[in-house]
A and B are shown apart, each in its own frame.
Chain A
């Protein structure tokens, strides 16, 4: 007999005698499901995956609008007759650049995320940290590109960009983060209004020659550094105290 025939006979015989038992199949299904659910329950996301999920959740249109805003600013800057208009445009754009991320920063707060937080893997603090980090990375890239392009193509000095664009932007960011996590439930409309109000103040400073010329370059740098420190403090407070402040004020239910 050929070897293939012998093997075929063996295979057929084995299949006849070894029939799967339904009880064993059910046992396998139950054990498999149990194991799968157990593994899922023990599974924690890596930081990279968590950041990626948060990245997917953030609406990309705000980043697109920020990008378009910078492009628009870069396009209109050469057409300004007077340097003061260029500065004003930069100031407004700086404030607007931050205003555009307000809806995303307020999203958790507006959707009452504290109510469902206990059912999620990550705390609000971790979610905010991830979001701020992502906004920080993307905005940093956008602003760096804008500054490099503007410096080389429009011949603006770095000091001018620092004072006229980055400084109002920093102050706007301070206002946003300061309001986001304060004790009172301030909504995003008030935050936007305050940012616009700051923009008007900035216009007034620019329009007032006496005041503007009184502030010398080293003073601007000091103000810029102070604003940076203030922003770091507000961001720190937002991350570390958001649970405490929000829970007490919104849910009156403190976690132990």
Chain B
């Protein structure tokens, strides 16, 4: 895979192949990130497209420093925030039921997904963001600090707090679930 620096140089010259390569390289990551935020695949696809379009609208001014992926995450993060503002409550029913299969293992995975998504929605925006970037996107703490434009100690603090709250929420929901099933 060609280095981002070279790809960006080629894209600035209007090379179609470079656009293709660059978007293919990061599409999956950005799509996952958006889907963790909005919980709806179609909206996630739209947000992903918007992220890339935004990136390319400022490409000629873009100075390659560090990772382009981080810049994409920053754009995506802002778009997801706007998405939240427009769509405050995403009902749990929006989960795609057509994907549900009948086997037990699959049901467990779906339950897990529903719990996590419910718990994530209960978290504040800042905490949710660090959980997504650290656990789901598997980014390094220093990269998260760059994307969120905050210091490394604050990232560590938010991650610790988010993890604690998430754990409490999941345990609570687990207890409720057990009570309901008994």
Which A residues are within 8 Å of any B CB, using their own CB? Answer: 3-4, 6-11, 13-15, 17-18, 20-21, 24-25, 27-29, 31-33, 35-37, 39-40, 43
Contacts and interface: CB of A to CB of B under 8 A. Distances in A.
A78 B140 CA distance: 69
Give chain B's interface residue range (CB within 8 Å of chain A): 35 or more
A3 B16 contact: no
B35 A14 contact: yes
Contact of A18 (B19, B44, B117): B44
Contacts of A40: 14, 60
A77 B131 CA distance: 76
Find the residue from A21, A36, A39, A43 having the highest chain B CB count within 10 A: A36
Given A3-B166, A3-B170, A28-B27, A15 B135 contact: no
B57 A35 contact: yes
The 7 closest A-B CB pairs, nearest first, are: A32-B56, A36-B56, A10-B116, A28-B49, A13-B109, A7-B135, A32-B52
Nearest to A24: B45
Contacts of A15: 32
Query: Chain A: interface secondary structure?
Result: helix
Contacts of A35: 53, 56-57
Given A32-B53, A39-B57, A39-B58, 19 more contacts: A3-B167, A9-B112, A10-B113, A10-B116, A13-B109, A15-B32, A17-B96, A18-B32, A21-B45, A24-B48, A25-B27, A28-B52, A29-B19, A32-B23, A32-B56, A33-B16, A36-B57, A36-B60, A43-B60
B24 A25 contact: yes
27 contacts: A3-B163, A6-B170, A7-B131, A8-B135, A9-B112, A10-B113, A10-B116, A13-B110, A14-B136, A18-B41, A20-B27, A21-B45, A24-B49, A28-B27, A28-B53, A29-B23, A32-B19, A32-B53, A32-B56, A33-B16, A35-B56, A36-B11, A36-B19, A39-B56, A39-B57, A40-B60, A43-B60
Taking each of A7, A8, A31, A39, which has the highest tally of chain B beta carbons within 10 Å of its own beta carbon?
Answer: A7
B59 interface: yes
Contacts of A3: 163, 166-167, 170
Given A6-B170, A25-B23, A28-B48, A20 B57 contact: no
A170 B153 CA distance: 65
Interface centre among A17, A25, A27, A43 (most CB of B within 10 A): A25
A30 to B, nearest CB: 9
B115 interface: yes
A227 B14 CA distance: 50
A75 B99 CA distance: 88
Interface string B40-77: 01001100110011011111100000000000000000
A4 B112 CA distance: 12
Contacts of A7: 116, 131, 135-136
Among B14, B135, B166, max chain A CB count under 10 A is at B135
Interface in B156-182: 163, 166-167, 170
B36 interface: yes
Contacts of B126: none
Contacts of B32: 14-15, 18
Contacts of B112: 6, 9-10, 13
B31 A20 contact: yes
Most buried by A among B20, B59, B110, B116: B116
Given A28-B48, A33-B16, A37-B14, A20 B28 contact: yes
Nearest to B45: A24
A202 B55 CA distance: 63
Given A3-B170, A10-B116, A17 B135 contact: no
A11 B45 contact: no
